[in-house]
Structure 1
Amino acid sequence: MDRMITPILSVIVIVAVIGYATFFYLQRKYLHEISKQQAQISSFIESSLNDELANMKEIHLSGQTRQQFEETRQSYLYSVNHRLPEISERLLELQDVCKQYHFIQVYRELKVITLKTQAAAKLENKTRAEITGLKKSNQLHRQKLHELEQRYQDLRKKLLAKNFSYGPSIDKLEENLGNLENTFDQYANFAQQGDYIQADQVLNHLEKDTDVLDNQLKQIPKLYRSQKNVYPDQLAEILSSFQQLTAQKYGFKEDLAVKVKEIQAQIGENLVDLKDLQVSVATKRDQEITGKIDQLYDQLEQEFKARRQVEKTRQQLSQFIQHARQQQHELMIELDRLSQNYSFNHHEMEAGRHLGTDLKKIENEFSVTSQQIREGLPVYSEVWLQQETQIASLQQIEKKQSEINQSIQGLWHEEQEARQAAQTFDLEIHQLHRKLAKQNLPGLPKTYLDFFLTVSDEIEQLLNDLNQIKIDLDQINKSLLDIQADLDKLTEKTNDISDSAALAEVLLQYANRYKIRYPEVAQAANQADQLFNQKFDYAASLEKIATAVDRVEPGAYKKLENQYYAQNPVKEH
């Protein structure tokens, strides 16, 4: 029994010790939190913010500003004088409750008190911020009052001292200045009474309107001076110059006097806009007027310079046209002359006629412009542009004239070269005929004779084409190339026949020494003789006898061939 009681007692003792330690810990924790809350409440109650609130009496407030601040002040004072002392007393009571170990009650009430102290902290921050803001507003509006008052004095001085600079705008400017001063008085009243909320609202509009008036005072004098003095003087100068140049027979694309009147009307509109203080509209139109006046000056200068250029190059252009016309005349005569003897295959005649048409157009334009100049009022800028185009066209015409002329001048030389080539061809084919005739051959292969006759006919046709009244040199040049190729081939065939026949005769004579001893040589000789005298196949005849001889005497054919070409070097290939 005693043994069982001992462990139970030990457990009870341990539980009791843990329980006591836990109660002791919680008691210390909550007492510390209570003390912390007390200290925070004391700091709120003893805050310097109370003194600042007292000092705010020195700043006179009114209207919405006063009402708003008074609400915040009352809330803060009620918190400091009533709510926070009540919370402090309850915290003292919670100390006793905590010592009685009613921790759950303490926990719940501390949670509520914490929320209240946080609200008190927010209220203090809000109150302090409003005090700071009001002090800044007080200082700001004092400064604004001084600045705006000085600014209005400057504006009024400017209006009084330079009222002539504002022209029709002066009445409206003075009216707006008076309205601004009335608004300033309203603002000053709110600011001096301490109604900063209303003062801020008025100040925003006041500063914007003041800036507008200030900018108008800066912009209008320049605009007015342009409309009153600068532009009228410029337009008078333009109109005078226009009249002088017109009297001197200058022409213009448009009536500058009409343009001057249009600009004068715009100036009148601008003066109305300035009277109504429509400065942005007047500024935009002023830029348009400036651009139009610059254009009128440019037109005057353009025509003045253009006339000098036209007069400077007019005579040269006339000579240029005459020179081109002379060359055109000579070109067409030459084309007509050569067209009697030659066929033009590259549209030379058509190209020449087209150049004549282009030249005629330039001559007509030049004639019309000359008439305009004689009658007066030509638009010289247009004339100068026309002359530049005409000069470029004439340069191109003369270039093409030269190209056509060079191309047709070579026709006669081409004809002579073609005639010389044809004669050479005729001589060569006759030489080929004589060459074979000298060998007294029993006959010639049909294929060779046919080809010989074809080439001969080609040469005869070429000579016939060259003897026509009108020659097509393009066709003749083509024929020259074809005949030369065929003649080269015929020459090669002729040389082959000549050399083969000559070598075959040499080999047949050489084979006589072997006919008795070598029947095969005798047989080959008979066959070669048939090929030579009956079929006129001299190459086959040579091959037949050369093969037989080389069998009985290796190298004999090569030796005889070398001797033949050594004696006939011209015939070597």
Structure 2
Amino acid sequence: MKYGVEIVIVAIVFLLIVFAVGYIYRKRYYKEIDRLEARKLELMHRPVIEELGSVKRLNMTGETEKLFEGWRKSWDDIVTVKLPNIDEMLFDAEEYTDKYRFNKAKETHEKIEALAEDIEEQINIILEEVSELVGSEEKNRTEMEQILGQYQHLKKSLLAHRHTYGIAAERLDELLNSAAEKIASYEELTKQGDYLIARELVLTLSNELIQLKEKMEKIPDLLTECQTVIPAQKNDLADGYREMLQQGFILEHLQLEKELQKINTQLEAYKEFLKNAEVDEVENGLEEMKDKIELFYDMLEKEVYEKHYVVKENEKISYILDQLKEVNSEIAAETDTVKNSYQLLNNDLDIPYTLEKGLDEMIKRYELLNAKISEETSAYSLLSEELKGIEKQISVMKDEQNEFTERLQSLRKDELDARESLKSLQKQINEIIRMVQKSRMPGLPSDFESLYDQAEEQIEDVYKSLNEKPLNMSSVQKYLTDARDTVDHLHTRTVEHIENAHFAEKVIQYGNRYRTRNQELRSSLDQAEQAFRNYEYKSALEQAATAVEAVEPGALKRIEELLDEDK
């Protein structure tokens, strides 16, 4: 009995759960049905009828009539077939939900959703196409007003200023007539209701009139350039060319007559382009042509300038070459004189020959140039380049002459400087001797004597090298440098010995006051005195200073102060 009650309770609980789950699912599916119903109503109330009504104000013929019929049939199919199908499927979905057939309900929902998507896409296409048609009509009407105004303006301009368009006037008439025909075609298409085709025509016509306007703005100036300006510049250029030929200028390298013939041919071609109202190639070509003419003017002007330059500078070159020859002779003579007194390097001895050889080559080059100038068979621009090359060589040779001359002159100066330096070293040696004598040292260490002898020997080497004939200044400078270094070192060591000796003597005298009281100090001072007598002043100072500082710290500083007061 107990188990039976439990089974009943479990069954009731299970049924309650099933009922609750079923209730929740039914509520969810009913909500989806409501959403689909709302979407159907939204589709039904899309403003398709209103938009189709806006088409009726257009000319309902031709393309417009066909499009309208197609849209109307599509909308009728939606209203009479597809939306009722959605109603039936919504009813079926509700019935499946009531009976808890959720899988069938879900399948029906998906079919409704797919059909709704198809209907919405179809409605969007209708509305877009209607908007395009109506918009095309509005845009056509607005833009054609501007096009007609522009067309009238261009036509009046051609009539009023026809003479300025010259040979292009006939082609411009044709282009305007073509535009008029397109305007007439537009009106015919509009009457027939072919608004979309008319739209394409309007865009084409607008672009053509823009291009035509640009052509009509450019053609008068381009015609003037082709027929008047450039021919005048060309003729002036040809006149100037002929006049320069008569004056003896050599201008064959310019090939000007050939280029002028090319310009004539190009001008005829450009006139033909303008006759057909084609401006782009003419515009670019004329710019290049003007640049070319300007370049020829510059080249002719350069020939005139270079002639003045050649005539003027050529008169100077001969005189300058004579001057260079005189200087080379002076350098050769000076070199012979100097090499008797001084040893010169092989490179230096070769320089006069190198200068003379370079000058001979330069003279030959100049004579050849002078012959070309006299023959009057070469362009002055080419002669000028050759002349400038010779002038550059002259400048280089002048620098080489000056540099070598200064080098020769510097040998005598270097000798005088070396002799002055030798006097200074000898004076420094005498000063060192006086310092030693004045210091009253008992003697000098052996290394000092050796260093002194070395300094004397090196000074003697300098004397000998200065008295050699021919004089080798490189050797003199080496001996002089060695002697200067040794004498400077000797002076430094001398000052050091004198100071050490003087200081050691004072420290030993100061330490004598403690000699009788301190045996260790007495022994150290005896050793310091022995070192002093052996001329080892640095060692004597170190031993005495160490001993005195041990007995009386700070004594050295006081001794230094006393020495400074004595100076």
- Does the TM-score normalized on the shorter chain lie above 0.5? yes
- Label 1:38 to 1:337 Cα distance change in 2 as closer, same or farther (>3 A): closer
Aligned-residue offset at 1:397: 1.9
| Separation (CA, whole Å) in 2 of partners of 1:465 and 1:108 | 127
Aligned-residue offset at 1:77: 1.7
Q: Which residue in 2 is equivalent to 1:160?
A: 159
Aligned-residue offset at 1:293: 1.0
Is 1:392 matched with 2:376?
Answer: no
| Separation (CA, whole Å) in 1 of partners of 2:468 and 2:47 | 132
Q: Which residue in 2 is equivalent to 1:230?
A: 229
For residues 244-289 of structure 1, what are the alpha-carbon distances to aligned partners after superposition, in whole Å with 9 as ceiling and x for unaligned?
3344444444353443333333323322333345533333322321
Q: Which residue in 2 is equivalent to 1:189?
A: 188
Q: For residues 202-221 of structure 1, what are the structure 2 equivalents within 5 Å?
A: 202-221=201-220
RMSD: 4.8
| Matched positions, count | 454
Q: Which residue in 2 is equivalent to 1:284?
A: 284
| Separation (CA, whole Å) in 2 of partners of 1:114 and 1:480 | 112
Q: Letter of the aligned partner of 1:222 in structure 2? A: D
| Separation (CA, whole Å) in 1 of partners of 2:111 and 2:408 | 121
Aligned-residue offset at 1:60: 2.8
For residues 37-78 of structure 1, what are the alpha-carbon distances to aligned partners after superposition, in whole Å with 9 as ceiling and x for unaligned?
444434444443223323321123555565455333311222
Q: Which residue in 2 is equivalent to 1:271?
A: 271
Q: For residues 256-267 of structure 1, what are the structure 2 equivalents within 5 Å?
A: 256-267=256-267
Q: Letter of the aligned partner of 1:229 in structure 2? A: T
- Label 1:158 to 1:368 Cα distance change in 2 as closer, same or farther (>3 A): farther
Q: Which residue in 2 is equivalent to 1:301?
A: 301
| Separation (CA, whole Å) in 1 of partners of 2:52 and 2:411 | 121
SS of match in other structure, 1:130: helix
- Label 1:387 to 1:43 Cα distance change in 2 as closer, same or farther (>3 A): closer
For residues 432-484 of structure 1, what are the alpha-carbon distances to aligned partners after superposition, in whole Å with 9 as ceiling and x for unaligned?
xxxxxxxxxxxxxxxxxxxxxxxxxx9xx999995xxxxx655x975998999
| Separation (CA, whole Å) in 2 of partners of 1:341 and 1:164 | 95
1:163/1:170 contact within 8 Å kept: yes
Q: For residues 514-529 of structure 1, what are the structure 2 equivalents within 5 Å?
A: none
1:251/1:378 contact within 8 Å kept: yes
| Separation (CA, whole Å) in 1 of partners of 2:375 and 2:106 | 117
- Label 1:329 to 1:65 Cα distance change in 2 as closer, same or farther (>3 A): farther
Q: Letter of the aligned partner of 1:280 in structure 2? A: D
SS of match in other structure, 1:155: helix
Q: For residues 354-433 of structure 1, what are the structure 2 equivalents within 5 Å?
A: 354-370=354-370, 372-373=372-373, 379-407=379-407
- Label 1:382 to 1:28 Cα distance change in 2 as closer, same or farther (>3 A): closer
- Label 1:360 to 1:145 Cα distance change in 2 as closer, same or farther (>3 A): same
- Stretches of structure 1 that go unaligned for 5 or more consecutive residues are 419-457, 467-471, 487-553, 560-573
| Separation (CA, whole Å) in 2 of partners of 1:246 and 1:12 | 130
| Separation (CA, whole Å) in 1 of partners of 2:372 and 2:341 | 46
Q: Which residue in 2 is equivalent to 1:323?
A: 323
Is 1:151 matched with 2:130?
Answer: no
Aligned-residue offset at 1:355: 2.4
Q: Which residue in 1 is equivalent to 2:54?
A: 55
| Separation (CA, whole Å) in 1 of partners of 2:482 and 2:89 | 135
Normalized against structure 2, the TM-score is what? 0.64
Is 1:70 matched with 2:106?
Answer: no
Q: Identity percentage over the alignment?
A: 21
Q: Letter of the aligned partner of 1:81 in structure 2? A: T
Aligned-residue offset at 1:233: 1.5
Q: Which residue in 2 is equivalent to 1:239?
A: 238
| Separation (CA, whole Å) in 2 of partners of 1:269 and 1:61 | 52
Q: Which residue in 1 is equivalent to 2:124?
A: 125
Is 1:88 matched with 2:87?
Answer: yes
Q: Which residue in 2 is equivalent to 1:451?
A: none
| Separation (CA, whole Å) in 2 of partners of 1:558 and 1:58 | 140
1:307/1:380 contact within 8 Å kept: yes
2:186/2:202 contact within 8 Å kept: yes
| Separation (CA, whole Å) in 2 of partners of 1:317 and 1:214 | 64
2:226/2:271 contact within 8 Å kept: yes
SS of match in other structure, 2:56: helix
| Separation (CA, whole Å) in 2 of partners of 1:117 and 1:359 | 105
| Separation (CA, whole Å) in 2 of partners of 1:14 and 1:414 | 130
Aligned-residue offset at 1:94: 6.3
SS of match in other structure, 2:140: helix
SS of match in other structure, 1:58: coil
SS of match in other structure, 2:346: coil
2:223/2:271 contact within 8 Å kept: yes
Q: Letter of the aligned partner of 1:158 in structure 2? A: S
Aligned-residue offset at 1:295: 0.9
1:414/1:473 contact within 8 Å kept: no
| Separation (CA, whole Å) in 1 of partners of 2:465 and 2:100 | 145
SS of match in other structure, 1:194: coil
Aligned-residue offset at 1:371: 5.0
Aligned-residue offset at 1:116: 2.4
- Label 1:374 to 1:85 Cα distance change in 2 as closer, same or farther (>3 A): same
Aligned-residue offset at 1:137: 1.6
Normalized against structure 1, the TM-score is what? 0.64
For residues 165-203 of structure 1, what are the alpha-carbon distances to aligned partners after superposition, in whole Å with 9 as ceiling and x for unaligned?
444433333333333433443344334433244334444
Q: Letter of the aligned partner of 2:290 in structure 1? A: T
- Of structures 1 and 2, the larger Rg is shown by 1
Q: For residues 100-115 of structure 1, what are the structure 2 equivalents within 5 Å?
A: 106-115=105-114
| Separation (CA, whole Å) in 2 of partners of 1:23 and 1:408 | 125
Q: Letter of the aligned partner of 2:70 in structure 1? A: E
Aligned-residue offset at 1:317: 3.7
For residues 290-321 of structure 1, what are the alpha-carbon distances to aligned partners after superposition, in whole Å with 9 as ceiling and x for unaligned?
22112112113223333444455444444323
1:60/1:193 contact within 8 Å kept: yes
For residues 335-360 of structure 1, what are the alpha-carbon distances to aligned partners after superposition, in whole Å with 9 as ceiling and x for unaligned?
56777998864345543233233333
2:54/2:134 contact within 8 Å kept: no
| Separation (CA, whole Å) in 2 of partners of 1:184 and 1:127 | 30
SS of match in other structure, 2:254: coil
- Label 1:31 to 1:381 Cα distance change in 2 as closer, same or farther (>3 A): closer
- Label 1:163 to 1:321 Cα distance change in 2 as closer, same or farther (>3 A): farther
- Stretches of structure 2 that go unaligned for 5 or more consecutive residues are 419-460, 484-529, 536-567
Aligned-residue offset at 1:141: 1.6
- Label 1:22 to 1:393 Cα distance change in 2 as closer, same or farther (>3 A): closer
Q: Which residue in 1 is equivalent to 2:169?
A: 170
2:63/2:192 contact within 8 Å kept: no
- Label 1:404 to 1:38 Cα distance change in 2 as closer, same or farther (>3 A): closer
| Separation (CA, whole Å) in 2 of partners of 1:98 and 1:338 | 131
Q: Which residue in 1 is equivalent to 2:254?
A: 254
- Label 1:16 to 1:241 Cα distance change in 2 as closer, same or farther (>3 A): same
- Label 1:197 to 1:417 Cα distance change in 2 as closer, same or farther (>3 A): closer
